[in-house]
Structure 1
Amino acid sequence: MTDKNRSQWDLGRFIETLTYFEVIPFLNWVQQLIQGRPQDIQNIPNGGRNMGVILVAGATGGVGKRVLRRLQEQGHKVRAMVRDIDKARSIIGNDFDLVVADITKPETLTSIVMADIQAVICCTAVRVQPVEGDTADRAKYYQGVKFYQPEIVGDIPKNVEYQGIKNLVQAAKKYLSQANEKLIFDFKNPSTELKNIWGAVDDVVMGGVSESNIQLVENTALFAGNVSTANSGGFASVRTKNFDPPFNLSNYEGVKLRVKGDGQRYKIFLRTEAKWDGIGYGYSFDTVANTWIDVHVPFADLIPVFRAKTIKDALPIDFNKICSFQLMLSKFEYDNALNPKFTPGKFSLQLESIKAYGGKTLPQFVLVSSAGVTRPGRPGINLDEEPPAVRLNDQLGGILTWKLKGEDSLRESGIPYTIIRPCALTEEPGGKELIFEQGDNIRGKISREDVAEICVQALKQAFACNVTLEVKAGENTKNSSDWQRLFSNLQRDK
């Protein structure tokens, strides 16, 4: 169509835009009344939620199922890796994304299992239980009371504790993003949530007749449409609804877009105000026709803009509360300057992802190992004082020896990691003070509840990066832990 026969302003689309973005509460109330249902609060974008997935291996075990619950409570996207999906549902329920895989079979660690992961928590282990008939009170085994004769049940330690861990590490390395990046939008893996976040904001809001939309097609987001300069218009854009809570990107240097465009110059805006018509912090970027490129948008280069005019006395952007994102094609740059690469008519911009970059390096792989892994064969060890796994290492298939080799495969991978070596695991309630040590000399007990909490907290701590620690519970009950202090006192592995 030509501009001439497209110049009729569309009031209906104007109202539709305001309704979608909840600009006028009355319009939304009328819409909900007509539709006969309340607003679905599940569709409110949550900027506090990490958009990437945390993969939990060993998800049906005593520690793993607790890790799942904690991650879910904190709003993370979680994927549980299990060998038997029906058995897993009977143990952890139907509230998690379950995928079938076996770390001892690398061919099962497919893209379906590993796609979109931002971190891995590995709680896998060989099964150790009392020899049949050794003790009638098996419950004591789960309380860290090791007076029985143990035996390995199922696969051997070499396959699980070493080769299995090595398989998982190698698979994860292919899919984990850079350790200093935060995934914000992953359009390669479309979800209902993504579909409900983005909507068009075209020049119809100012009387123009341009049209655009965003669609999730072929594992990308396609921002496309037709820009018209009729009625003094000349821009098309897509924008997210306001995030609640907003994104906190204060620890990053900028955002990175993976895009394929048509050779035109586009803009991205970050907004810190929940109101509709506020200041946007903009950045212009050029595309290369039909070519995928990475566009780095340094926060330091963002320009405060209100309706295409720069604001000279605007406050610096508050990276603690990024309320929304917007992508735009406009005939204008800023302050009435024209976009030198603008062409009216059809346009298209494909996106694979939007990430924050330049942040602190955080652990991306947390491995639950065991205290005592370096003690078998160590000179000066008094076996009478050691737990059964140390005394009976050879009889148990070299369980601790293979655990140590599994740890080493992670250390050598280049993935930022935390290796946790708990003492004897119990089913007691968590909440005791935690004692972190290094050097593998510690003895004691610790609740599986507390180990699960350490796994989750390690992912948030830069001080936990490339660290191996042993942990036991103290005598006193604590109200909360100073996680930064606990991890900051540790030495990184050499």
Structure 2
Amino acid sequence: MTNETRGQWDLGRFIQTLNYFEVVPPLNWIQNILQGKFFQNSQNQPDGAKKMGVILVAGATGGVGKRVVQRLLQQGYRVRCLVRDIEKARNILGNDTDLIVADITKPETLNELVMSNIQAVICCTSVRVQPVEGDTPNRDKYNQGIKFYQPEIVGDTPENVEYQGVKNLVEAAAKYLPQGDEKLVFDFTNPSTDLKNIWGALDDVVMGGVSSSNMSFLDSSAIFAGNISIANSGGFASVRTKNFDPAINLSGYEGIDLKVKGDGKRYKLFLRSDSAWDGVGYSYSFDTEADTWINIKVPFSNLIPVFRAKVVRDRPPIDTSKICSLQLMLSKFEYDGELNPKFSAGAFALEVESIKAYGGSKLPRFVLISSAGVTRPGREGINLEEEPPAVRLNDQLGGILTWKLRGEDSLRTSGIPYTIIRPCALTEETGGKELLAEQGDNIRGKISRDDVAELCLQALQETAASNVTFEVKQGENQMGNPGWKTLFSQLKSDS
């Protein structure tokens, strides 16, 4: 045989590949024991459902904000907390939370460093309202909403925080949030450590070949590159993600959008809906233009079920509700023995900026916590004696509700899919009561901060919560099965 058809197979690289993708568990156990990482293995599994984008939380150190952060982290989301005082925030949120210093009243601080890679925003900011100094030594009662004490604004004004600050945050976020019908799967413009640890090389070394590749990460992109050889009957190189646990749910979307800059060669994208190492993958071939950024639309309906470059007949369409892994490949083969018409051995490079799902239903991208009562100051027919303190004392409190309403309006007119939550009096009581939601701004009552925080998270996952404004209070019964979809589906979209 000639050097073109015969090469030195690398056993060590073959074992490394099996170990990286955990094909043979004992190899991982041995390596982890040798490296002192035996008990850390379960932490290496990527969470595809939640870790592909950042949730930005403004007002993260407040009563609701800190609960939102805690819940997001518990459920595996990547969270970025916008704070003004880093030391205070550390004391409240802990040392393991991603904190970034910015001030919504100062738009110049809401820069790319703050906004990069955000998937959604939860805004819990509010001016500080507390009892007048000396009014009562037991201020917890005011916070509980149990008894009324004379309140006062402390710090910045409602106009600056509730209106101008919210408006600044909305305008900054609008430049960076994904479009309403897109879901960001991988953003390589600012790759995190988690992202870098997900992708690994899977080359023809597993079949005896000698091709080699890797995924390297630059400041604003990733590059799938290497050298492909047909020696030893080989001829493919690829990079693949570890299996996601839980899987990525892309049901309701039409397909995948790749933004790539290639070298004129034809590549393949593979998606898998099961975690088998050598199972069926769903493939799509796409051509690139040399040194030119292009978007490749990959409809799920056009994916071809393939096993080792052979089409699997009578296979059902891919289950988009559980995408377990993704793979990029350069191969000399197309399907069923056909050759890739744009294949050539040697060096190659495919630069990738992002991988998104497109054509989906619009989920909320911005959740704003406002307040019940924002439309009541000055409304005809209002009996102030029956209203909460903020309504009765709106003018004395710097027009707090009036400015909150202006802040809502800035979000409603922004074009960002949103949810505006207007809670009644906030309490420190334990959550878990049934939630009663209405529209029209007429209800009175109270609600636990715990339940408001949970509402914020649930809104991000429900299309029925998109572009709605509602008031909410707790009922008398325990929540039981909350039926979030039912709760949101009963609400009418804002006109």
TM-score range, shorter chain: over 0.9
Q: Conserved in 2, the CA contact under 8 Å of 1:146 and 1:387?
A: no
Who is 1:26 aligned against? Answer: 26
Counterpart residue number, 1:419: 420
Q: Secondary structure at the match of 2:152?
A: strand
- 8 Å CA contact 1:6–1:209 kept in 2: the answer is no
Q: CA deviation at 1:4?
A: 4.2
CA contact (8 A) 2:270 2:284 kept: yes
Who is 2:140 aligned against? 139
What is the CA–CA distance in structure 2 between the aligned matches of 1:14 and 1:203, rounded to whole Å? 9
The TM-score, its normalising length taken from structure 2, stands at: 0.97
- Superposition map of 1:12-23 within 5 A: 12-23=12-23
Stretch moving more, 228-237 or 428-437: 228-237
CA positional deviation for 1:6? 7.2
Matches within 5 A, 1:26-425: 26-38=26-38, 40-425=41-426
1:45-83 deviation line (CA, Å, top 9, x unaligned)? 222324111111000000100111111111111111110
- TM-aligned CA deviation for residue 452 of structure 1: 0.8
Deviation at 1:186, TM superposition (A): 1.6
User: Residue by residue, what CA displacement relative to the aligned partner does 1:379-428 show, whole Å, maximum 9, x if unpaired?
Assistant: 11111111121111111111111111110000000000111111111111
For the 8 Å contact 1:447–1:473, the answer to whether it is kept is yes
Give the residue type in structure 2 aligned to 1:62: G
CA distance in 2, matches of 1:296, 1:314: 22
Distance (Å, rounded) in 1 between the aligned partners of 2:37 and 2:367: 43
Q: Quick check: 452-461 or 408-417, which moved more? A: 452-461
SS at match of 1:160: helix
> Could you tell me how far apart the structure 1 residues matched to 2:96 and 2:286 are?
41
Structure 2 Cα separation of the partners of residues 123 and 12 of structure 1: 52
Secondary structure of 1:79 counterpart = strand
Q: Which moved more, 1:47-56 or 1:373-382?
A: 47-56
Of stretches 157-166 and 383-392 in structure 1, the one that deviates more from structure 2 is 383-392
After TM superposition, where is structure 1 displaced by more than 4 Å over at least 4 residues in a row? 2-6
Query: CA shift at 1:5, angstroms?
Result: 9.6
CA offset digits 1:268-318 (Å, max 9, x no partner): 111123222111110001111111111111110000111111111223212
Conservation of the 8 A alpha-carbon contact between 1:166 and 1:410: yes
Deviation at 1:196, TM superposition (A): 1.8
> Relative to structure 2, which stretch is displaced further, 210-219 or 430-439?
210-219
Structure 1's 331 and 160: CA in aligned 2 closer, same or farther, altered over 3 A?
same
Distance 2:88 2:468 in 1: 34
**Counterparts of 2:468 and 2:51 in 1: how far apart (Å)?**
23
| C-alpha separation in 1, matches of 2:256 and 2:5 | 40
Contact 2:261-2:352 at 8 Å conserved across structures: yes
In structure 2, the residue matched to 1:10 is 10
Q: Residues 6-52 of structure 1, C-alpha deviation per residue, up to 9 Å, x if partnerless?
A: 72222222222222222223333333343343152211122232411
Out of 29-38 and 447-456, give the one that drifted further. Answer: 29-38
Identity %: 72
TM-score (normalised: structure 1): 0.97
Please say if residues 393 and 400 of structure 1, whose CA atoms lie closer than 8 Å, have aligned partners that are also in contact.
yes
Q: How many residues align?
A: 493
Contact conserved, 2:469 with 2:493, CA < 8 A, in 1?
A: yes
In 1, are the aligned partners of 2:248 and 2:322 still within 8 Å (CA)? yes
Shift, 1:348, TM fit: 0.2
CA distance, structure 1, for counterparts of residue 466 and residue 44 of structure 2: 34
- Write the distance in 2 (CA, Å) between the matches of 1:156 and 1:248: 43
Q: In the TM superposition, what is the alpha-carbon distance from 1:146 to its structure 2 partner?
A: 4.6
Separation in 1 of the partners of 2:163 and 2:28? Answer: 57
Q: In structure 2, what residue type is equivalent to 1:432?
A: K
CA distance in 2, matches of 1:460, 1:214: 31
Distance 2:51 2:490 in 1: 27
Letter in 2 for 1:31: Q
In structure 2, the partner of 1:484 is: 485
The more displaced of 2-11 and 291-300 is 2-11
Give the deviation of 1:438 after TM superposition.
Answer: 0.6
Amino acid corresponding to residue 279 of structure 2 in structure 1: G
Check the 8 A contact 2:5/2:232 in 1, yes or no: no
- Which segment is superposed worse, 110-119 or 5-14? 5-14
| Distance in 2 (alpha carbons) for counterparts of 1:423 and 1:26 | 56
CA apart distance, 1:142: 0.7
Whichever residue aligns with residue 22 of structure 2, its letter is E
Instruction: Say which is worse superposed, 358-367 or 20-29, in terms of deviation.
Output: 20-29
Distance in 2 (alpha carbons) for counterparts of 1:3 and 1:238: 26
State the SS of the aligned residue for 1:40. helix
CA distance in 1, matches of 2:11, 2:390: 75
Tell me which amino acid in the other structure corresponds to 2:379: R
| Cα distance change, pair 251–348 in 1 and its aligned pair in 2 (3 A) | same
CA contact (8 A) 2:5 2:233 kept: no
Cα separation, 1, equivalents of 2:5 and 2:236: 18
For residues 103 and 425 of structure 2, what CA distance do their matches in structure 1 show?
Answer: 25
